[in-house]
Amino acid sequence: MVVTELVRRVEATLAQSQGRFPVHADPVTGEWTWSEDGDWCGGFWGGLLSLAAVATGDPRFALAAGEVAGRLAARTDAPTLLRGLLFWYGAALPAVLAGDEEPGAPTALAAAQSLSIGFDPLAGLLPPQEEDVAKYGWPRPGACVDGLPGTVPLLAFASERTGARELLVMAESHARACRAICVREDGSVAQTSIGAVNGSSPGSTWARAQAWAMLGLAQAAHLSPEFTEPAAEVADWYTAHVPSDLVCYWDFDDPGIPDAPRDTSATAIAAAALAKLAPLAKDGYREQAADTLAALARDHLNEHGGLVDGCYNRRKGLAVGHELIWGDYFLLEAALVLDGAIDTSRL
């Protein structure tokens, strides 16, 4: 059911897109708010199209994913750490899933090379860039866990395709440093080196930061067993603190709980991360991912087929109970992995 509904949503969105990138949609009408250049999250639209191609075998979706990768090329040199998310999901992943044609590979390789120029050898990581400081208030120098997932596999993809081992070393160093700076002793995650910029307070655990760390460290664990225990550490904190209905609040420390908004997008990221970690760690992660997926499908899909009740930015009051493009992406990814349609190590 989840796969069918989300593919239906992707098909309807594609018919409306006209070269634009969907960002968030009204939960009742399903009407999208669009980005012209992809902003930070446009890659998830290309990723969704690629997953829809896998789910259906319909080449229209793969072709559209390749076109998305081409449009994202204008942001290859954008001064943002979020190019990891943008170009892994929007360019490298379509290449990985498309097989021989690899429509997004040149764009992904160019983005990885450009991103790598900002590596700080003293800190051992890629710090936030100028756009991140101006738009999001992230610290520079410093670290932000939002820039962990996507970045790690993008650099590894570029290393494999070009033979530049230094990019793989950079990917692992970035994961190592982000873990050291952003993961607290108990396994909870601080969004940045100065705390939770998007959270209810600087010392809180913003749900999407926890989920990004789970995902990024699980991606790193598929590169090196060094990261399996750290990935399990943040996953275990999440599963121990998520509400009994398995859908997290937007911030684990919001004083308004239980009346605070949920964030199904963070929950979907966590489900995908648990599914990714499952083959490398204890058996329970797969069951936890499946139970989370079932909870989202049961209570949070709307009549248009999208995942609603996502919280984009609570502090700014932006799309607090909406469908979010990355929520749809990770819900479909988790569903396809759990169905055995895609090997999670490729994601």
What is the per-residue pLDDT for 101? Answer: 64
- Give the DSSP per-residue string, 31-100: PEEEESS-TTTTHHHHHHHHHHHHHH--HHHHHHHHHHHHHHGGGTT-S-TTHHHHHIIIIIHHHHHHTT
Dist. CA 65–CA 315, nearest whole Å: 32
Within 13 Å and on the Cβ side, how many CA atoms surround 156?
Answer: 23
- Chain segment 112-163, per-residue pLDDT in tens: 999 999 999 999 999 999 999 999 999 999 999 999 999 999 999 999 999 9
What is the per-residue pLDDT for 269? Answer: 98
- Chain segment 219-255, per-residue pLDDT in tens: 999 999 999 999 999 999 999 999 999 999 999 999 9
Of the candidates 88, 225, 223, 235, the residue with the CA atom closest to the CA atom of residue 149: 88
Of the candidates 233, 251, 236, 246, the residue with the CA atom closest to the CA atom of residue 195: 251
**Any bridge partners for residue 183, and if so which?**
189
What does pLDDT average to over the chain?
Answer: 96
Stated pTM of the model: 0.98
What order of strands is seen across the sheet that includes strand 32-35? 32-35, 21-25, 323-324
Dist. CA 332–CA 191, nearest whole Å: 25
**For the residues 70-78, what does the mean pLDDT come to?**
97
Greatest pairwise CA separation for the chain in angstroms: 51
φ and ψ of 323, to 5 deg = -80, 130
Confidence of residue 345 (pLDDT cuts 50, 70, 90): confident
- In one letter, which amino acid is 342? I
Cis peptide upstream of residue 258 (ω within 30 degrees of 0): yes
Is pLDDT of 179 > 90? yes
Helix (H) or strand (E) holding 151: helix 151-162
Say what percent of the chain tops pLDDT 70.
99
CATH number of 2-346: 1.50.10.10
What is the per-residue pLDDT for 102? Answer: 74
- Chain segment 255-310, per-residue pLDDT in tens: 999 999 999 999 999 999 999 999 998 779 999 999 999 999 999 999 999 999 99
What is the per-residue pLDDT for 103? Answer: 79
Q: Between the CA of residue 165 and those of 17, 73, 130, 220, what are the distances in Å?
A: 38, 24, 27, 15
CB 102, CB 95: distance < 8 Å: yes
Is pLDDT of 100 > 80? no
Of the candidates 88, 57, 191, 177, the residue with the CA atom closest to the CA atom of residue 126: 177
| Sign of the CA dihedral running 171, 252, 318, 52 | positive
What is the per-residue pLDDT for 346? Answer: 84
A 10 A CB-CB count for 260 gives 17
Is pLDDT of 343 > 70? yes
What is the per-residue pLDDT for 90? Answer: 97
Is pLDDT of 323 > 80? yes
